């Protein structure tokens, strides 16, 4: 049971933190339509996070709520992958991270929708429709940037250098992930195949090694999560139970 | 407040026609196809709803509005249950709802599932302009003012319009 709760929180944390990161583009997108696109993706991710937190709260049955799980847990209790907490960077970093993560979620939710746990399966089946949309949108942008102008290409090359070290952690199981019913090796193969396919179309090269940064899934985070939580949790920590 | 002893589920469905989507106020929750079940037992009622989009902020407002509507019609104990499975699709939207959307200036969703696939740079769907009925339209953005809509523009009358994307 504890593993199931932790795994559900891990899924929730990944969605919440990336949703929060993407929301930082609100009002700052390169053009209005893409500002709206990235913030819509943000909303979808925060919606997923809510579903997972609500379920985790039910499982915990100790008075926890979706809000207490999002707003009142400490940094070391967060189980998101390091990839999602990195700063939003420029448009190329945001796009590439979204592409890496949407590809991961796309194949993860395909497995999860048949999970033995009916609620995780239902959340995944529902979210998969939206993730398919995210994957298509971010793939097109990776191709546009990689096979675009000299400027866009340089930026996405830099983004690959920055983000690649954090992609390996997605496929290294946390203890709570081992009984989840998800075959990470299959997920990894599917992810690599998709990334290679899109990179080829974008005239980019997939790095072969070096995706070694880990820790987030075990609660060992970078300084960036501290900054996110300070902002995200400030209101509930200062005025407990505040509502509007 | 009306005192009731036993109101049928059928009458509850009728009451729910008055509850509309706060983002698209011409559509009732019945038109949207998000009411999955209604169970009544004297003064108790349980309404099961399913969300349109995972992150749609209108769902909370819709739940509260349903509760208020039923309470003000004499129910004492109203429960709103949310289910995720099977996942909502625009194919559950009523024909009347689609017509209302069009009259409101939003292109209704196409029937066939065309958007939710992963093919890249797919040609635009043939979306009919809700203003001049032309199919000579193009997509400006896949994402729009709410999770359920995309932005399109008509090449004939030049009007930009929202398209309730199929999901």
Contact indicator for A132, A105 with CB cutoff of 8 Å: no
Q: What is the pLDDT of residues B87-129, one digit of tens each?
A: 999 999 999 999 999 999 999 998 765 545 567 777 777 899 9
Q: Do B118 and A136 touch (CB under 8 A)?
A: yes
Per-residue pLDDT at A1: 84
Partner residues linked to B20 by β-bridges: B28
Count of CB pairs separated by less than 8 Å, A with B: 83
Q: What is the pLDDT of residues A165-221, one digit of tens each?
A: 999 999 999 999 999 999 999 999 999 999 999 999 999 999 998 889 999 999 999
Report the chain B residue with the minimal C-alpha distance to residue A50. Answer: B55
Contact indicator for B148, B135 with CB cutoff of 8 Å: no
**ipTM higher than the 0.90 cut:** no
**C-alpha span between B49 and B95 (Å, rounded):** 19
Q: Do A44 and B54 touch (CB under 8 A)?
A: yes
Q: How far is A90 from chain B (nearest CA, A)?
A: 20
Mutate to test the interface with A, among B83, B143, B152 (most CBs of A within 10 A): B143
Q: Confidence class of residue B5 from pLDDT cuts 50, 70 and 90?
A: low
Q: Do B85 and A126 touch (CB under 8 A)?
A: yes
Q: How far is B4 from chain A (nearest CA, A)?
A: 34
**C-alpha span between A188 and A94 (Å, rounded):** 21
Q: What is the pLDDT of residues A121-175, one digit of tens each?
A: 999 999 999 999 999 999 999 999 999 999 999 999 999 999 999 999 999 999 9
pTM: predicted TM-score of the whole model, two decimal places: 0.92
**H-helix or E-strand containing B81?**
strand B77-82
CA dihedral A151, A156, A157, A162 (to 10 degrees): 130
**Contact status of B72 with chain A (Cβ, < 8 Å):** no
Q: Confidence class of residue B1 from pLDDT cuts 50, 70 and 90?
A: very low
**Contact status of B123 with chain A (Cβ, < 8 Å):** no
Contact indicator for B37, B48 with CB cutoff of 8 Å: yes
Per-residue pLDDT at A241: 86
DSSP assignment of B83-128 equals --SSPP-GGGS-HHHHHHHHHHTEEPPPSS--SSS--TTPPPP---
**C-alpha span between B30 and B36 (Å, rounded):** 9
Q: How far is A60 from chain B (nearest CA, A)?
A: 19
Mutate to test the interface with B, among A34, A40, A103 (most CBs of B within 10 A): A40
Q: How far is CA B19 from CA A46, A189, B38, in A?
A: 26, 47, 15
Per-residue pLDDT at B112: 60
Q: Do B54 and A118 touch (CB under 8 A)?
A: no
Q: Three-class SS of residue B79?
A: strand
Q: How far is CA A145 from CA A24, A33, A58, A200, in A?
A: 21, 17, 43, 13
From the list B54, B115, B117, the residue facing A126 with the nearest CB is B54
Q: How far is CA A197 from CA A71, A121, A163, B90, in A?
A: 39, 28, 18, 31
B118 versus A62: the higher-pLDDT residue is: A62
Contact indicator for B20, B104 with CB cutoff of 8 Å: no
**How many helices and strands (H and E) does chain A possess?**
9, 0
Partner residues linked to B97 by β-bridges: none
Contact indicator for B53, A44 with CB cutoff of 8 Å: yes
Q: Do A122 and B117 touch (CB under 8 A)?
A: no
Q: Is the pLDDT score of A244 beyond 80?
A: no
A105 versus B144: the higher-pLDDT residue is: A105
Contact indicator for A89, A162 with CB cutoff of 8 Å: yes
Q: What is the pLDDT of residues B20-71, one digit of tens each?
A: 999 899 999 999 999 999 999 888 999 999 999 988 888 999 999 999 999 9
Partner residues linked to B153 by β-bridges: B138, B160
Q: Confidence class of residue B6 from pLDDT cuts 50, 70 and 90?
A: low
Report chain A residues whose CB lies below 8 A from the CB of B119: 136
Q: Is the pLDDT score of A28 beyond 70?
A: yes
Contact indicator for B43, B4 with CB cutoff of 8 Å: yes
For residues A86-98, give the mean pLDDT: 98
Phi then psi for A174, rounded to 5 degrees?
-75, 165
Report chain B residues whose CB lies below 8 A from the CB of A140: 120-121
For residues A232-237, give the mean pLDDT: 94
């Amino acid at each position: 049971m504890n593993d199931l709760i932790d795994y559900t929180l891990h899924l929730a944390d990944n969605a919440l933190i990336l949703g929060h990161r993407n929301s930082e583009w609100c009002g700052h997108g390169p053009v209005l339509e893409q500002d709206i696109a990235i913030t819509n993706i943000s909303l979808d991710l925060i919606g997923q996070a809510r579903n997972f937190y609500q379920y985790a709260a039910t499982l915990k049955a100790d008075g926890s709520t979706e809000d207490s799980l999002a707003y009142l847990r400490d940094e070391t209790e967060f189980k998101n992958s390091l990839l999602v907490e990195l700063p939003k960077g420029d448009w190329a970093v945001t796009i590439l991270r979204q592409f890496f993560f949407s590809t991961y979620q796309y194949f993860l939710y395909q497995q999860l929708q048949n999970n033995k746990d009916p609620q995780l399966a239902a959340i995944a089946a529902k979210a998969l429709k939206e993730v398919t949309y995210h994957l298509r949108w971010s793939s097109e942008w990776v191709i546009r940037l990689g096979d675009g102008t000299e400027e866009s290409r340089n930026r996405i090359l830099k983004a690959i250098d920055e983000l690649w070290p954090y992609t390996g952690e997605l496929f290294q199981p946390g203890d709570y992930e081992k009984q989840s019913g998800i075959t990470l090796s299959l997920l990894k193969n599917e992810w690599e195949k998709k990334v290679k396919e899109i990179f080829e179309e974008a005239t980019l090269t997939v790095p072969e090694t070096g995706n070694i940064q880990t820790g987030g899934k075990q609660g060992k985070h970078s300084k960036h999560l501290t900054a996110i939580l300070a902002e995200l949790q400030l209101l509930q920590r200062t005025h407990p139970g505040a509502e509007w | 407040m009306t005192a009731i002893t036993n109101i049928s589920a059928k009458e509850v469905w009728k009451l729910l026609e008055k509850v509309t989507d706060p983002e698209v106020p011409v559509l009732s929750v019945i038109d949207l196809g998000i009411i999955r079940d209604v169970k009544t037992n004297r003064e108790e009622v349980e309404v099961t709803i399913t969300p349109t989009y995972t992150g749609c902020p209108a769902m909370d407002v819709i739940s509260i509005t349903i509760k208020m509507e039923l309470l003000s019609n004499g129910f004492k104990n109203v429960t709103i249950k949310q289910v995720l499975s099977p996942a909502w699709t625009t194919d559950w939207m009523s024909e009347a709802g689609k017509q209302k959307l069009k009259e409101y200036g939003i292109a209704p969703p196409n029937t066939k599932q065309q958007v939710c696939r992963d093919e890249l740079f797919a040609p635009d769907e043939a979306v009919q302009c809700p203003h001049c009925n032309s199919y000579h339209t193009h997509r400006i953005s896949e994402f729009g003012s709410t999770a359920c809509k995309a932005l399109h523009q008509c090449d004939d009358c030049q009007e930009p319009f929202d398209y309730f994307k199929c999901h």
